[in-house]
Amino acid sequence: MKTSRRILLAGLAGLAVAPSAAAAAPAPVADDTTVAEERFARMIAVAHAPDVTCARQAERYADAHWPEYVVAAKAVLNARA
């Protein structure tokens, strides 16, 4: 599977889970996240970047905003387990 397709699917998964997960934990907490959760949160953040066509800007957005997507990443990873 191509990387862009993975990012798109991760972003869609984050959109599907984010509203219900956001109600459960309103404040993003990055202290107890695992490496897998952080990577998945970064992938979701890249997919939600305002300018996805520019890879550098999408990466900068992910670096700045990945803690906001930790709850969604945890929900998706827990659903798969």
pLDDT digits over 14-69, tens only? 555 544 444 444 445 557 888 888 888 888 888 888 876 788 888 888 888 888 88
Integer Cα distance of 21 and 74 in angstroms: 9
C-alpha gyration radius of the chain = 12
**Is residue 2 scored above 60 in pLDDT?**
no
Closest CA to 10 of 31, 39, 33: 39
Whether the full predicted model's pTM is greater than 0.75, yes or no, is no
